[in-house]
Amino acid sequence: MKRVKIAACILGLAISASSWAHVGLKQASPAQDAMLMQSPSNLSLTFSGKVRVIKLSINADNKTPVEFGFKANADAESMYEWPLPTLAAGSYGVNWVALGEDGHKMSGQYQFTLHGQGMMKDMPMEDTSHNAHKH
């Protein structure tokens, strides 16, 4: 009987702990701190459960808003994707606010950097050949 009570307590704790667990951002693309060579075609956010994304913004150099047609969704989903316009080289901040199915409000932000395709060819290259070494 004692084992049954212990098992019931453990099961009760496991169930209540899972009910306290809230949904969060699982994956984003472009990813946090990504360094890209070409403009991403989409922004996607994947959550660990169903949420309604109610606010979403992208800011170039953390100031200028990027217009990409975000509209809050009435239905809860776990994955969202929005097409992006062609972005110029620079730093971008993504800010989001979502509501879980339980009404829990969550928010987050992250940055990514777009270097652009022309930037690498303009950078000076270091000569690493054997002839460049002085003996």
The arithmetic mean of pLDDT across residues 88-96, rounded, is: 97
Handedness of CA 35, 37, 113, 29 (dihedral sign): negative
- Give the containing element (helix H, strand E) for 6: helix 2-20
Q: Cα Rg for the chain, rounded, in angstroms?
A: 23
Distance CA 81, CA 31 (A): 13
Domain boundaries, the chain: 19-119
Q: Which of 20-29, 52-61, 81-90, 119-128 has the lowest mean pLDDT?
A: 119-128
Nearest in space to 77 (alpha carbons), one of 43, 109, 54, 95:
54
The arithmetic mean of pLDDT across residues 72-93, rounded, is: 96
Q: What is the pLDDT of residue 19?
A: 43
CATH number of 19-119: 2.60.40.1220
The number of angstroms, rounded, from the C-alpha of 52 to the middle of its chain's C-alpha atoms is 15
Whether the per-residue pLDDT at 87 is higher than 60: the answer is yes
Q: Which of 32-41, 106-115, 126-135 has the lowest mean pLDDT?
A: 126-135
Contacts 24+ apart (CB under 8 A), 123-132: none
Identify the residue with better confidence: 28 or 63: 28
Whether the per-residue pLDDT at 5 is higher than 60: the answer is no
pLDDT band for 116, please (50, 70, 90 cuts): confident
What average pLDDT does the chain have? 82
Q: What is the pLDDT of residue 6?
A: 53
